[in-house]
Amino acid sequence: MEKPNENKLDSHPKGISSLFLTETWERLSYYGMRALLVLYLVKSLGFTDKDAGTVYAYYTSFVYLTPVIGGYITDRYLSYRFSIYLGSILMLCGHISLAFSDLHYFYLGLCLVAIGNGFFKPNISTLFGRLYKEKPNLRESGFTIFYMGINLGGLLGPIIAGSLGEKVDWHLGFLSAGIGMAIGIVVFYFGSKSLPSYVWEKEKNSQFFDTTTYATSDRQLTKDTISKVSLIGLLSFFSIFFWMAFEQMGTSLNLFALRHTDRQLFGMEIPASLLQSLNPLMILVFGPVLSAFWIRLSKSNRNPNPILKFVFSLFLLGIGFLIMVFAAKEAESGILVSILFLVSVYFWNTLSELCLSPVGLSFVSKMAPVKFASVLMGFWFLCTAFGHYAAGILSGYQREWGSMVQFYGIFVIISWAAAVLLYTIYFWKQKSILSLLEGKDTNSEIAGLPIRASIES
């Protein structure tokens, strides 16, 4: 029997702390290793920027591609619990493999981490979303809190693994990431026992786009489902433009910090990898503020819908890279630029991320039909994979694309152009989109959006 305070509309459901901490430790391992990856390839193995960017592109895109497969397999054959354990153990083995100096073990480790993430990531996010089955009004706020857990790990990972990797030994840094993953497994083992039983339940014989539904008499249900999937596809598609710019933090901006930034502070040189902690630190600071702001706007029915938040996100992202254009111009004069440039860039990138990533996770969890929940969450990560791949490939041209000014200027143009295009689509289909978001009959109007074809294929 639930305690009285658990039924309050403003009280988050029991169990979020265990999933919060599990995700924190897993992200500590991932972001700790990510902060070292490009620097290790360039400084220790002697890779060129282009080759290091290619490895980063394949690895990070594979990390977000595997959730599509992992989500599908889970929907059809596995339980959420088994998939999360399987993914966690594979990632642990991957981090241990990275601790060895042999290049073959290095590539094996990257593959194991990516495959393990495919089973872990979509299912831990889906599980968290299902906690809000009886409190949908708090779902977006809850995912912002969940996102804080992600970024708490993102803050600690580069500090621990980055310091050990750059200052002591690269492979010791990778091993420390594995220890974080091991702690995450233990936390989930004990914490998952407190989760309500309904979060583990799945519909039997679920499959993506079950064609038999078209033969049912309730054809409007099918139209409504297609409309929801189309809208999820639309926002997932536009997330690609965000990630291809945002993920420069792990690649070109990481190398910019190494080569062109004055990192002296109180007579000590800050490792370049530690600057990767700026973004998660800012999320921890501004995340609760923005979460409270969304709730306050909701009470007066002025909270922007997810589409508008995506537009805001892309616009803010462009501001950050506009500042980076000025930093690059100063760096090309031959001097080390102030670290405040990167601090400012990461500030705007952080605000942009808070308007898109937790909002997108919440939206997919809320709008996806139950039968397709894990796969559609996987599709969200598939588009993230495309963005990461583009980011890695583009990063290799930082010093070859005419100039760094032109290189970072491209991301200003991409971000703002995507913002204008998304708002144009929203303005065009505003009535039907708002009807769908409010749970009204859409008559399949937005299912006619071009993104539908890419979903169904």
Query: In the prediction, which pLDDT does 207 show?
Result: 43
CB 242 within 8 A of CB 354: no
What lies within 8 Å, CB to CB, of 334 at 6+ separation is: none
Give the integer Cα–Cα distance in Å for 241 and 238: 6
Examine residue 2 and state whether it is found in any structural domain, yes or no: no
The gap from C-alpha 66 to its chain's centroid, in whole angstroms, comes to: 14
H-helix or E-strand spanning residue 269: strand 268-269
- pLDDT score recorded for residue 212: 40
Give the pTM.
0.79
Residue 6 covered by a domain = no
- Confirm whether 200 is domain-assigned: no
| Rounded Cα distance, 106 and 70, in Å | 23
**The CATH number of the domain where 446 resides is what?**
1.20.1250.20
Q: How far is CA 451 from CA 115, 390, 416, in A?
A: 27, 19, 20
CA distance from start to end of the chain? 45
Question: Residues with Cβ < 8 Å from 225, sequence gap 6 or more?
Answer: 213, 369
Exposure string of 381-410, with b = 16+ CB inside 10 Å and e = fewer, is bbbbbbbbbbbbbbbbbbbeeeebbebbbb
Q: At what angle do helices 404-428 and 306-331 cross, to 10 degrees?
A: 170
Total domains present in the chain? 1
* Bridge partners, residue 337, by sequence: 261
208 domain residue, yes or no: no
Question: Are the C-beta atoms of residues 52 and 36 closer than 8 Å to each other?
Answer: no
What does the pLDDT read at residue 393? 92
Number of neighbouring beta carbons within 10 Å of residue 368:
22
Range of the domain at 94: 16-195+218-456
Looking at the domain assignment, is residue 11 inside a domain? Answer: no
Model pLDDT for residues 135-186, shown as the tens digit of each residue: 777 776 777 778 778 888 989 999 999 889 988 999 999 999 999 999 999 9
- Below-70 pLDDT ranges, the chain: 1-10, 140, 202-222, 374, 439-457
Nearest-angstrom CA–CA distance, 229 and 446: 10
Q: Are β-strands 268-269 and 264-265 bridged in parallel, bridged antiparallel, or unpaired? A: antiparallel
Tokens of 317: 């992202």
Give the CA distances from residue 433 to residues 379, 425, 437, 445, 447, in Å, rounded to whole numbers and listed in that order. 20, 10, 6, 8, 10
Q: What is the dihedral of CA 238, 244, 247, 250, to 10 degrees?
A: 170
Residues in the chain: 457
Helix (H, G, I), strand (E, B) or coil at 264: strand
Q: Is 10 domain-assigned?
A: no
Between the alpha carbon of residue 216 and those of residues 211, 222, 223, 309, 452, the distances in Å are 10, 9, 12, 36, 21
3-state secondary structure of 261: strand
